[in-house]
Structure 1
């Protein structure tokens, strides 16, 4: 696959980026090197090689889901700059 100016321009449009002519040339060369590398990898014989699904042998390492004590609502609201009996008060951010 050949990377040309039209492809670089199309990718720039899709990603909403703007490139100077020098940057466009550099990106074109970088993309061409990446594609050449991937094409080179596709020539390797991978028969008998198991796919790598995880980087380690560990799978689904999750902590036990259990209830742990936490602070009370009153304690949490004591540190709030503005609060009522039950909630933190925050400035309005959505204007109608």
Structure 2
């Protein structure tokens, strides 16, 4: 995975560390033990992205959808909920900035 399409259409370098950080924040939000969990899930997300987006560049929303899917698949419902709520909050902040 080399690139990602930002919400404004720009193509930028893909950085898996951002995925790991977002997952880590969700884990901490629900006070789960972190250990290597964020990196483990992040690696699974990158693998899923590479499989699904072989011939095209994923968008930010595509990546976030896969993050949710992988967290749920790993049976971390509380972490998934925290991630989904954080994602919703960021959407609301972006919408408020538009006004």
Q: Given the two structures, how large is their TM-score scaled by the length of structure 2? A: 0.29
Q: Which structure would you say has the larger RCO, counting Cα contacts within 8 Å and 6 or more residues apart? A: 2
More strand per residue? 2
Q: Which of the two has greater helix per residue?
A: 2
Name the larger-Rg structure.
1
